[in-house]
Amino acid sequence: MKEKIEELKSRFENELSLASTEEKLEALRVGFLGKKGEIAELMKGLRDAVDKKAAGALINEFKNNVETAIDRASAALKDAMLKAQIRSAKKYNPTLAAERMYGSYHPITLATRDVEQIFTGMGFTVEDYAEVVDDYECFEALNIPKHHPARDMQDTYYLENGQLLKTQTSAAQNAIMKKYGAPLRAIFPGRCFRNESTDACHENTFFQMEGMMIDENISISNLIYFMKTMLSEVFRRDIKVRLRPGFFPFTEPGFELDINCLICGGVGCPSCTHSGWLELCPCGMIHPNVLKEGGIDTEKYTGFAFGLGLTRLAMMKYGVKDIRDFNSGNLKALSQFRSL
């Protein structure tokens, strides 16, 4: 038995040294340790052995050595393969020039700048205002006392201290009147928030651009002139608009200025809630109560105000069908606009 094991041992070592792949190692394992392998044959021969115990111990020792040797060889093979893969992998070279990536302006930024340019060219200043305001700024100063039904149209997000995320850029009207007095020409873009369900033309976070002009003898004709000029310069083509009466507690009279949907050409689609028209820029003559609250002499001055839906304007100008794309962070969609 001893000689037989010695002979198998040297054969195993020889074959092991030639087993250069996982497949060859596996064949070796089956050949020696398998059910019908060399070691199983040795076990069968135990019946005829003189000293069964000693022979059994020798076979066991040989079996353990074979198992360990094959496991080690297999681990060494895997290690060598991994190292070869790492060696052949493409190396990272920090000294190479980076792949070129260009940023682009957000379409709302582009639309804001367009409108700002148009109004600054007509003598308006551009004002900035807070996004977190208080009830007075957003409602009371705008002739919307507590419990006024008009508040239902503009639910928003409240802070624990009673402040709120502004629902409309009109929230800055009072502060700007107090800051500059009359005469006054100002526009103030800003992010607005409303707690409402979203669809293709409604977002809970969107931009408006407020405008105010206060002076002697300001009338609805002035308002219509500025609205027409703004729209023709923004779109630079003929677009259909309609002006209809609208109610805002801070205007008297008030109007809704709608634009014929440029996505569907007025036939009706999700972008215009299937009406063919999109509410874009409500406006009106500033209510005397609002002027008074802003410290303006209503005997001498009148004024108009408008609240342009900037995000909707960007939809129409750039043909974006769903307003939610603007806040999506989807670079594929947003990077199609003018590069930096």
- The binding site for ligand FA5 (CB under 6 A) comprises 168, 170, 194, 196, 202-203, 206, 208, 248, 251, 254, 279-280, 282-284, 305-307, 309, 311-312, 323
Residue nearest to ligand FA5 (CB): 309
Residues 246 and 254 sit within 8 Å (Cβ to Cβ): yes
Q: CB 191 → ligand FA5: shortest distance, Å?
A: 11
Q: Tokens standing for 26?
A: 């596996």
Q: CB 92 → ligand FA5: shortest distance, Å?
A: 45
Which CB, 24 or 151, lies closer to ligand FA5? Answer: 151
Residues 223 and 306 sit within 8 Å (Cβ to Cβ): yes
Q: Which residues pair with 215 in a beta bridge?
A: 302
Secondary element (H or E) of residue 245: strand 241-245
Angle CA(157)–CA(162)–CA(168) in degrees, nearest 5? 45
Q: CB 192 → ligand FA5: shortest distance, Å?
A: 7
Q: Tokens standing for 92?
A: 């990272």
Q: CB 176 → ligand FA5: shortest distance, Å?
A: 12
Which CB, 28 or 290, lies closer to ligand FA5? Answer: 290
* E-strand stretches of 16-161: 125-126, 132-133
Q: Which positions ≥6 away from 131 have C-beta within 8 Å?
A: 165, 166, 190, 191, 193
Which CB, 29 or 312, lies closer to ligand FA5? Answer: 312
Which CB, 107 or 309, lies closer to ligand FA5? Answer: 309
The phi and psi torsions of 108 (rounded to 5 degrees) equal -70, -35
Which CB, 63 or 312, lies closer to ligand FA5? Answer: 312
The CA distance from 93 to 78, in Å, is: 27
Q: How many residues would you count in the chain? A: 340
Q: CB 137 → ligand FA5: shortest distance, Å?
A: 12
Which CB, 8 or 305, lies closer to ligand FA5? Answer: 305
Q: CB 81 → ligand FA5: shortest distance, Å?
A: 58
Phi-psi region of 223 (alpha: psi -120 to 50; beta: other; left: phi over 0): alpha
Q: CB 232 → ligand FA5: shortest distance, Å?
A: 18
Q: Which positions ≥6 away from 197 have C-beta within 8 Å?
A: none
Nearest-10 crossing angle of helices 22-33, 38-45:
10
Q: CB 213 → ligand FA5: shortest distance, Å?
A: 11
Nearest residue to 296 via CA among 140, 172, 126, 180: 180
Which CB, 74 or 327, lies closer to ligand FA5? Answer: 327
Which CB, 8 or 280, lies closer to ligand FA5? Answer: 280
